[in-house]
Chain A
Amino acid sequence: MTTSVTLQTVKKRYGALDVIHGIDLQIDPGEFVVFVGPSGCGKSTLLRMIAGLEEISGGALLIDGERMNEVPPARRGIAMVFQSYALYPHMTVYKNLAFGLETAGMKKAEIDPLVRRAARILHIEPLLNRKPKALSGGQRQRVAIGRAIVREPRIFLFDEPLSNLDAELRVKMRVEITTLHRDLGNTMIYVTHDQVEAMTMADKIVVLNGGHIEQVGTPLDLYNTPVNQFVTGFIGSPKVNFLAARVESHDSGRPLLRTGDQVVRLPRQIDLATGTDVTLGVRPEHLEHREDGGILLSHATITLIENLGGETVVYARLPDGQPLTMALDGQQKVVIGQEIPVSVDSRFLHVFDGAGLAI
């Protein structure tokens, strides 16, 4: 069963304060959509509006084409997994899973197979008689997901469900949720501030900032062709380098930019007047420490090295003082204080105007 979700100029207002400023979004049946953005960007509010836990101040929410603004949460065919899990502490795992079905008036004989099926999917059968306080974080998370599964909803909503787990468990649960989506095929909307979760789980990422959508696209769309500096900065780890540059002159219509100790010839024709300040965006993993790795950006002095085994993260400083991070393949023979050339393949060079928009 797959379901579409449509947001038409959806707004949220608390008194005089606008927090969601008219969002238009189409979520196709069976998609795994991730809302990502910094704290306070409105991603959880938007999710709660879809769930029916927050009123919609303006615009329309359609589920399978049907307007849902005034429909109570329980009748939207939605199940939600909360950040805190929201398990009922006085009930056993079995009772937690069965609560929604009991509320719907189902008989015990009907409830039991559904609960056991959900428990089987999530490997929590041995935990059914335990109370939440006797479960680990990961087990609680599974129960919370089980409570969603058991109701056989049209849409699953996840509100930062992994943020209370340790790093190792987070990776494990990430895989499990992705697998669950593949197995069930339901439409899922997932909120996180962790761009790695967004990149690894999503069919489609919605980047939110200040109650606006900055960009919607597949993870690789956002990585390769971000529309602005905010999206570029939000996607990717280690974080993208932004280097201040100025148009010094032109060569055959192509601007020549000064950054660090080099003049960089942009690989494409861009209409920029001499003296214009721009920002170059270069991802750490696209930088190379050799003269002939594409465009020579600058020389840099190494200030810190992190050897991760399969990768070496080098922190450096350009002659004009700008910081730079490089993620180099393998184990590199570099030392702190060493001056190295920094180059980048021109395909991976992003240029932003003064307003932060990609040029």
Chain B
Amino acid sequence: MALPKLPAAPETSGAVTGGRKGWLARAWAANGAGYMFLLPWLIGFFALTAGPSLVSAYLSFTDFDLLRAPNWVGADNYERIFTADAKFMASMRVTLFFVIFSVPLKLAFALAVAVALNRGLRGLPLYRAIFYLPSLLGTSVAIAVLWRQLFARDGLVNSFLANFGIEGPSWISHPDYSLWTLIILSVWQFGSPMIIFLAGLRQIPADMYEAASLDGASKSRQFRKITLPLLTPVIFFNAVVQTIEAFKAFTPSFIISGGTGGPINSTLFYTLYLYQEAFRHLRMGYASALAWVLVVIIAVFTAASFLSARYWVHYDD
């Protein structure tokens, strides 16, 4: 039996069907609209993230100072960081101290508030918004200035303590306390992890608690044995994000210390030191090397976190 005659296929030009041009044309025809939608992000990514990152990687091996063309100095910048820069070590100590104390305190505070808010309060959306506000304002210059007013010698904190006969020091000017004021400021910005904890708490099925209450578990045992373990994926997420944020913290230290990292380098965050090297001393090459060291440190912390996660993070499926 003769097959029915099919209509002839439309002719395609040689330019479209053959070689590289053909591949590009086909890709464009198939996904052109998608690439157009992606374009703003792609421009931003290459111009503001990938491009500057690659340039800074190159500059970290130079003595670039903004005024003269960069000269290749090999690994000199990195060698100096690890062997001859006491301020690097000081800023790293301050930053690590800040990370180690601010992240757990902030997470604990955020979790405590989330647990309190998770008890079916009336007007929960309002409370959620109120508690989230500091996170929106927290990293702004205005709040850092406010913090200065709170913790200065004649600030609100000392006025309050004076009611109990306590004469407080100038918290932001005292090397023993200044970093703690920044840690408190960080903890105060608990809104973002709190919202995520709240979402996580709401994911825990109510019948887990009901089963536990039938088993006779007290509220605190339920919290330790059910809430915390089931919340570990959220705790892990918050811990990683907040750790990265803490390593990158800059504004509070810059504003409260007037950009010096004082007193006696006690608030000299790593990023502030990096900023000083780049924009005060115009050692762009060296600052680029410092930036890449920070990237590696954050990457190592993050990788270590992910490696540790398999031992303490419980995923349901």
Residue numbers of A with Cβ under 8 A of B are 51-53, 72-75, 78-80, 82-84, 86, 88-90, 99-100, 103-104, 133, 147, 151
Flag if A89 contacts B316 (CB, 8 Å).
yes
Number of interface residues of B (CB under 8 A): 20
| B229 and chain A: residue at smallest CB distance | A90
Count chain A CB atoms within 10 A of each CB in B214, B216, B317 and give the residue with the most. B214
Bound-complex Cα distance A103 to B214 (A): 10
Flag if B314 contacts A90 (CB, 8 Å).
yes
The interface residues of chain A lying within 8 Å CB-to-CB of B226 are 88
Does B230 make an interface contact (CB < 8 A)? yes
Known: A103-B221, A133-B317. A86 touches B215 (CB 8 A): no
- Say what secondary structure dominates the interface of chain B: helix
The interface residues of chain B lying within 8 Å CB-to-CB of A86 are 205, 207-208, 210-211
CB-CB contacts of B205-225 with A at 8 A, as 1s and 0s? 101101111111100010001
19 A-B Cβ contacts within 8 A?
Answer: A51-B214, A53-B210, A53-B214, A73-B214, A74-B215, A78-B214, A80-B211, A82-B210, A86-B210, A88-B208, A88-B211, A89-B316, A90-B229, A99-B215, A99-B225, A100-B215, A100-B216, A103-B212, A103-B215
Bound-complex Cα distance A122 to B39 (A): 60
Bound-complex Cα distance A133 to B215 (A): 22
Bound-complex Cα distance A53 to B213 (A): 8
Flag if B213 contacts A73 (CB, 8 Å).
yes
Bound-complex Cα distance A104 to B218 (A): 11
| A76 and chain B: residue at smallest CB distance | B214
Bound-complex Cα distance A58 to B190 (A): 44
The interface residues of chain A lying within 8 Å CB-to-CB of B314 are 89-90
Count chain A CB atoms within 10 A of each CB in B211, B230, B316 and give the residue with the most. B211
Nearest CB of chain A from residue B282's CB, rounded to whole Å: 54
Known: A84-B207, A90-B230. A133 touches B316 (CB 8 A): yes
| A100 and chain B: residue at smallest CB distance | B215
The interface residues of chain B lying within 8 Å CB-to-CB of A84 are 205, 207
| B221 and chain A: residue at smallest CB distance | A103
The interface residues of chain A lying within 8 Å CB-to-CB of B232 are 90
Residue numbers of B with Cβ under 8 A of A are 205, 207-208, 210-217, 221, 225-226, 229-230, 232, 314, 316-317
Bound-complex Cα distance A179 to B216 (A): 28
The interface residues of chain A lying within 8 Å CB-to-CB of B229 are 88, 90
Flag if B215 contacts A89 (CB, 8 Å).
no
The interface residues of chain B lying within 8 Å CB-to-CB of A52 are 213-214
Flag if B215 contacts A151 (CB, 8 Å).
yes
Bound-complex Cα distance A104 to B212 (A): 11
The interface residues of chain A lying within 8 Å CB-to-CB of B213 are 52-53, 72-74
| A148 and chain B: residue at smallest CB distance | B214
Bound-complex Cα distance A79 to B225 (A): 19
Flag if B216 contacts A104 (CB, 8 Å).
yes
Bound-complex Cα distance A100 to B225 (A): 12
Bound-complex Cα distance A52 to B215 (A): 12
Known: A89-B230, A90-B229, A133-B317. A103 touches B217 (CB 8 A): yes
Nearest CB of chain B from residue A81's CB, rounded to whole Å: 9
Nearest CB of chain A from residue B218's CB, rounded to whole Å: 8
Nearest CB of chain B from residue A94's CB, rounded to whole Å: 15
| B222 and chain A: residue at smallest CB distance | A103
| A147 and chain B: residue at smallest CB distance | B211
| B314 and chain A: residue at smallest CB distance | A90
| A82 and chain B: residue at smallest CB distance | B207
Bound-complex Cα distance A86 to B212 (A): 9
Nearest CB of chain A from residue B310's CB, rounded to whole Å: 13
The interface residues of chain A lying within 8 Å CB-to-CB of B316 are 89, 133
| A133 and chain B: residue at smallest CB distance | B317
Flag if A82 contacts B221 (CB, 8 Å).
no
Bound-complex Cα distance A104 to B217 (A): 8
Flag if B216 contacts A74 (CB, 8 Å).
yes
Nearest CB of chain B from residue A98's CB, rounded to whole Å: 10
Nearest CB of chain A from residue B227's CB, rounded to whole Å: 11
The interface residues of chain A lying within 8 Å CB-to-CB of B225 are 88, 99
Count chain B CB atoms within 10 A of each CB in A84, A88, A133 and give the residue with the most. A88
| A74 and chain B: residue at smallest CB distance | B216
The interface residues of chain B lying within 8 Å CB-to-CB of A90 are 229-230, 232, 314
The interface residues of chain B lying within 8 Å CB-to-CB of A133 are 316-317
The interface residues of chain A lying within 8 Å CB-to-CB of B210 are 51, 53, 73, 80, 82, 86
Nearest CB of chain A from residue B228's CB, rounded to whole Å: 10
The interface residues of chain B lying within 8 Å CB-to-CB of A74 are 213-217
The interface residues of chain B lying within 8 Å CB-to-CB of A82 are 207, 210-211
The interface residues of chain A lying within 8 Å CB-to-CB of B214 are 51-53, 73-74, 78-80, 100
The interface residues of chain A lying within 8 Å CB-to-CB of B212 are 99, 103
Nearest CB of chain A from residue B230's CB, rounded to whole Å: 6
Count chain A CB atoms within 10 A of each CB in B216, B230, B314 and give the residue with the most. B216
Nearest CB of chain A from residue B312's CB, rounded to whole Å: 10
| B215 and chain A: residue at smallest CB distance | A100
Bound-complex Cα distance A239 to B221 (A): 48
| B217 and chain A: residue at smallest CB distance | A103
Nearest CB of chain B from residue A230's CB, rounded to whole Å: 30
The interface residues of chain B lying within 8 Å CB-to-CB of A53 are 210, 213-214
Bound-complex Cα distance A147 to B212 (A): 11
Nearest CB of chain B from residue A202's CB, rounded to whole Å: 23
Given contacts A86-B207, A151-B215, 18 further A-B contacts (CB under 8 A): A51-B214, A73-B213, A74-B213, A74-B214, A75-B216, A78-B214, A80-B210, A82-B207, A86-B210, A90-B230, A90-B232, A90-B314, A99-B212, A99-B217, A99-B225, A103-B215, A133-B317, A147-B211
Bound-complex Cα distance A22 to B260 (A): 74
Count chain A CB atoms within 10 A of each CB in B208, B212, B215, B232 and give the residue with the most. B215
Nearest CB of chain A from residue B317's CB, rounded to whole Å: 5
Bound-complex Cα distance A343 to B263 (A): 102
Bound-complex Cα distance A84 to B208 (A): 9
Bound-complex Cα distance A187 to B40 (A): 68
